[in-house]
Structure 1
Amino acid sequence: MTPCRAADIAALVQDDRVHRDLYLSPALFALEQQHFFANTWQYLGHASQVPTAGDYLAVQIAGRPLLLVRQADGALRVLANRCAHKGTQLVSDASGNTGKFFRCPYHAWTYKLDGAPLAIPLKSGYENTRLKSCESGQGMAALRHVALYRDFVFVKLGDAGPDFHGYLGDALQALDNLADRSPLGRLRIEGGVLRSIVHCNWKMYLENINDTVHPMSTHESATAAANRLWQGQPADAPRASKSAMAMEQILPFGAGYDFFDRMGGRVYPNGHSVLGVNFSIHSGYAQLPDYEAAMRAAHGEARATEILQRSPQNALCFPSLAVKSSPQAIRVIRPLAVDRTLIEAWSFRAEGAPDILFERAMTYNRLVFSPMSVVAHDDVHLFESMQQGLQAEGNDWISLHRDFDARELEAGTQTVNGTNELLMRNQFRAWAKFMTLTMQD
Structure 2
Amino acid sequence: MSIPNEIIKSLVRPDGVHKMVYTDPEIFELEMKRIYGKAWIYVGHESQVKKAGDYHTSRLGNQDVVMVRASDGQIQVVYNRCPHKGAKVVADGDGSIGKFFRCPYHGWTFKHDGTHLSAPLKNGLQNTCFDPKLPDFSMRKLPRVSAYRGFVFASQSTEGPDLVSFLSGAASSIDNLCDRSPIGEVEVSGGVFRVVQRSNWKVFYENLHDTMHAPVTHESSVVSARSTAEQLGSLPFELLIMEGNGEPYEFWEKLELRAYENGHGYMEGIFDPAAAERDPVSNEHFVALSQAYGADRAREILGMNRHNTVIYGSGSPHTVFQQFRVIRPISVNRTLVEIQLFKLKEAPASVFERAMTYANVINSPSSNVMPDDVEVYARCQEGNLTDGGDWISMHRYMGTDLAVEDGMVSFNGTSELPMRNQFAAWKRFMLDDDAERDIA
> Shorter-normalised TM-score: what interval?
over 0.9
Q: How many residues align?
A: 430
SS of equivalent to 1:231: helix
Answer whether contact 1:16 1:400 (CA < 8 A) is retained: yes
Amino acid at match of 2:83: A
Structure 2 Cα separation of the partners of residues 105 and 93 of structure 1: 14
Shift in Å at residue 394 of structure 1?
A: 4.2
Structure 2 equivalent of residue 169 of structure 1: 168
Q: Is 1:260 aligned with 2:256? A: no
**Correspondence for 1:428 among 420, 423, 431:** 423
Could you tell me the TM-score, scaled by structure 1's length? 0.93
Structure 1 equivalent of residue 343 of structure 2: 349
SS of equivalent to 1:349: strand
Q: Is 1:362 aligned with 2:362? A: no
Q: Give CA deviations for 1:86-143 in whole Å, capped at 9, x if unaligned.
A: 1111101311001111111111101111211111111122223222164333x11111
Amino acid at match of 1:194: F
Structure 1 equivalent of residue 319 of structure 2: 325
Higher alpha-carbon deviation: 5-14 or 204-213: 5-14
Shift in Å at residue 336 of structure 1?
A: 0.3
Structure 2 Cα separation of the partners of residues 109 and 6 of structure 1: 43
Structure 1 Cα separation of the partners of residues 47 and 434 of structure 2: 37
Higher alpha-carbon deviation: 45-54 or 365-374: 365-374
Shift in Å at residue 311 of structure 1?
A: 2.0
Amino acid at match of 2:304: R
**Measured at CA, do residues 256 and 407 of structure 1 come closer, stay the same or move farther in structure 2, by a change above 3 Å?**
closer
Answer whether contact 2:169 2:265 (CA < 8 A) is retained: no
Aligned pairs for 1:105-116 within 5 A:
105-116=104-115
Aligned pairs for 1:382-421 within 5 A:
382-405=376-399, 413-416=407-410, 417-421=412-416
Structure 2 equivalent of residue 280 of structure 1: 270
Higher alpha-carbon deviation: 318-327 or 279-288: 279-288
Higher alpha-carbon deviation: 402-411 or 101-110: 402-411
Answer whether contact 1:66 1:81 (CA < 8 A) is retained: yes
Q: Give CA deviations for 1:360-404 in whole Å, capped at 9, x if unaligned.
A: 221112111211110111111111111111112142100000000
Structure 1 Cα separation of the partners of residues 22 and 172 of structure 2: 30
**Measured at CA, do residues 439 and 390 of structure 1 come closer, stay the same or move farther in structure 2, by a change above 3 Å?**
farther
SS of equivalent to 1:8: helix
Structure 2 equivalent of residue 248 of structure 1: 240
Q: Give CA deviations for 1:40-65 in whole Å, capped at 9, x if unaligned.
A: 11111001111111100011222111
Q: Is 1:41 aligned with 2:36? A: no
Structure 2 Cα separation of the partners of residues 323 and 408 of structure 1: 24
Aligned pairs for 1:91-240 within 5 A:
91-132=90-131, 134-137=134-137, 139-231=138-230
Answer whether contact 2:169 2:406 (CA < 8 A) is retained: no
Amino acid at match of 2:267: L
**Measured at CA, do residues 33 and 109 of structure 1 come closer, stay the same or move farther in structure 2, by a change above 3 Å?**
same
SS of equivalent to 1:343: strand
Answer whether contact 1:253 1:281 (CA < 8 A) is retained: no
**Measured at CA, do residues 328 and 409 of structure 1 come closer, stay the same or move farther in structure 2, by a change above 3 Å?**
closer
Answer whether contact 1:48 1:151 (CA < 8 A) is retained: yes
Shift in Å at residue 282 of structure 1?
A: 6.2
SS of equivalent to 1:69: strand
**Measured at CA, do residues 410 and 363 of structure 1 come closer, stay the same or move farther in structure 2, by a change above 3 Å?**
closer
SS of equivalent to 2:51: coil
Shift in Å at residue 223 of structure 1?
A: 0.7
Answer whether contact 2:64 2:80 (CA < 8 A) is retained: yes
Q: Give CA deviations for 1:255-296 in whole Å, capped at 9, x if unaligned.
A: 1111111121111111110101xx423645735333212201
**Measured at CA, do residues 280 and 407 of structure 1 come closer, stay the same or move farther in structure 2, by a change above 3 Å?**
closer
SS of equivalent to 1:38: coil
Structure 2 Cα separation of the partners of residues 113 and 314 of structure 1: 35
Q: Give CA deviations for 1:223-257 in whole Å, capped at 9, x if unaligned.
A: 111111111656xx6x7xxxx22123212111111
Structure 1 Cα separation of the partners of residues 303 and 84 of structure 2: 54
Structure 1 Cα separation of the partners of residues 31 and 428 of structure 2: 12
Unaligned runs of 5+ in 2: none
Structure 2 Cα separation of the partners of residues 190 and 325 of structure 1: 15
Structure 1 Cα separation of the partners of residues 332 and 43 of structure 2: 21
Higher alpha-carbon deviation: 13-22 or 288-297: 288-297
Structure 1 equivalent of residue 309 of structure 2: 315
Structure 1 equivalent of residue 289 of structure 2: 295
Answer whether contact 1:266 1:415 (CA < 8 A) is retained: yes
Amino acid at match of 2:325: R
Amino acid at match of 1:205: F
Q: Is 1:381 aligned with 2:375? A: yes
Structure 2 Cα separation of the partners of residues 20 and 408 of structure 1: 27
**Measured at CA, do residues 4 and 439 of structure 1 come closer, stay the same or move farther in structure 2, by a change above 3 Å?**
farther
Structure 2 Cα separation of the partners of residues 410 and 303 of structure 1: 25
Answer whether contact 1:5 1:439 (CA < 8 A) is retained: no
Q: Give CA deviations for 1:343-366 in whole Å, capped at 9, x if unaligned.
A: 011111101111121112211121
Shift in Å at residue 162 of structure 1?
A: 2.1
Shift in Å at residue 306 of structure 1?
A: 0.9
SS of equivalent to 1:377: helix
Structure 2 Cα separation of the partners of residues 218 and 168 of structure 1: 30
SS of equivalent to 1:113: coil
Q: CA RMSD in A?
A: 2.0
